[in-house]
Structure 1
């Protein structure tokens, strides 16, 4: 596994991309890794495109700038395809993890994704609706990212979800989010 990861998250305001970034960073902290998590938005309103960033490392992170060449890009909302160049700067051997109901090969052809980039899809909206009863895909996409990249151990991520949600949410909400992460982890497809 790589010892240093830079992840860029694309979503719309209100979809929880920064929350997912923070959650992933918290999971990294729980296993003694170094991290940074920060959003990029100004006066955007709910529904406007936003970007969030996560850095995870085995060593201290001394670069505090935005991520220009991410190792992985996570797209929470496929309606952004026509509005955002989410492939911008993605390393030629990077990971693209997309909330998309179709096959990754279909997505690769549709968006003309270069061959070196590893493409993963998961129908995160469907999973979120079935488990959370809401189309909020942030925790679901975190599960897909973990499976696609191996950035963190799955059980460490689940344990952090339980720990960080305990006392803040009812048990059924915690269980639903754990189920959403687990399903995305199991259902993500590579093409």
Structure 2
């Protein structure tokens, strides 16, 4: 959905998951690239600009921040603070407003009735980085879904987008 929303915004986009020989239920790493020009690379992202963590339990088992650029962004699906997650040092290393937690699953449960944090995470990233508008996120969901599912995801996206903008308080994006 991130690549589709980026495409809707006018970016060149690429997205792909990385699966190993892991068992079902093992953590999955997915990569996405957005660029203003054609993307010719076909390899994993080793130095991400943005890290989105949809499940905070991954923080205990996977080095999700490996290679994160020093001016990168981190958005974690959690109602806890970065400090409560034990990530205060990482937050301090990044520029102000580049590390946030958003209760994406709670938003999804409220609006969709199911624990599907994707729309909230994508909209939160858009608000945090300024890489795309909320309208592009909603357009991507409208492209893939229709009716009540599309509408509920749009509501989740708006809730997360507005929440992140409020947390940033005009810091950037």
TM range (shorter): 0.7 to 0.9
* Greater strand proportion: 1
Aligned twin of 2:159: 183
Matched, 1:116 2:96: no
Question: For structure 1, which runs of at least 5 residues remain unmatched after alignment?
Answer: 1-22
Cα distance per residue 1:128-167 (max 9 Å; x no partner): 111111112112111111111111111122122213213x
2:59 to 62, 66, 81: 81
Q: Residues 101-124 of structure 1: CA distance to partner in whole angstroms, max 9, x if unpaired?
A: 0234x257x223152322011011
Q: Which runs of 5+ in 2 are unaligned?
A: none
Q: Displacement, 1:85?
A: 0.9
Q: Secondary structure at the match of 1:113?
A: helix
- 1:185 & 1:84 partners in 2: Cα distance? 27
Distance 1:148 1:30 in 2: 18
TM-score by length of 2: 0.86
**Structure-2 residue corresponding to 1:9:** none
Indicate the residue corresponding to 1:19 in structure 2.
Answer: none
Distance between the aligned counterparts of 1:113 and 1:29, measured in 2?
31
Using structure 1 for the length normalisation, give the TM-score: 0.78
Q: Does 1:153 align with 2:151?
A: no
Structure 1 pair 186/50, CA: closer, same or farther in 2 (3 Å)? same
How large is the Cα RMSD of the aligned pairs? 1.9
Q: Which moved more, 1:46-55 or 1:66-75?
A: 46-55
**Matched residue count:** 163
